[in-house]
Amino acid sequence: MGQTILDGANFLTAANSNPVSIFFHKLNVSQVGSFGHSQGATGAINALIKSAGMIKTVLPIELPGQQFCANPLNCTDTSHLTQGSIFLVDGSLDIPISPPTQPASATGLQSIAAYYSAVPVGVLKVKGTLIGQRIVTFRACPPARQPPCLVSSACMVIWATRRRGSCFNCRMTTWPAAHS
């Protein structure tokens, strides 16, 4: 997991230097980031780990616990981060796939708190939990209905209402089904 994201970043970096590309000198290839939801979040982290510094930051949304990896080679482990930054996001009701915390008896990385704690010292990290919310369903929105900020290509808008330490207390608004 993550190779497709890394391949896309490599393609766009090369296209930025190609005079016949529509991307020629239009991209800031020194500030590349990746994001993904659920298993895509696993891929986004793996792409950062494999990128040799090209990808600078990652935003994994609702990263599933390692117990949900069918193939251990596809799992991610935030202790393998050596550079960059990470902003882990989940909802406090995202149980059992992406719980904010895990029982002491659990082994491996089974929660956002465990993934956060595993990030090595020296790698910038932050986590955000949407209190009382689930982030479980993402649907593509028509271009005319794209939210003006935050998670593009997702039918949700998250408005931060207060900051509490390294976590956010937010409310979530979902685009009406008629617009999907």
Per-residue pLDDT, 178: 36
Amino acid occupying residue 121: V
| % of residues, the chain, pLDDT over 70 | 73
Which 3-state string (H, E, C) describes 129-171? EECCCCCCCCCCCCHHHCCCCCCCCCCEEEEEEEEECCEEEEE
What fold is seen in the domain 3-135? Rossmann fold (3.40.50)
Domain limits of the chain? 3-135
Q: What sign for the dihedral angle of Cα 69, 72, 77, 83?
A: negative
pLDDT in tens, 140-167: 334 444 333 333 323 232 323 233 333 3
- What does the alpha-carbon distance between residue 70 and residue 77 come to, in Å, rounded to a whole number? 15
pLDDT in tens, 37-86: 888 999 999 999 999 999 999 999 989 999 888 787 778 999 999 999 99
Per-residue pLDDT, 45: 96
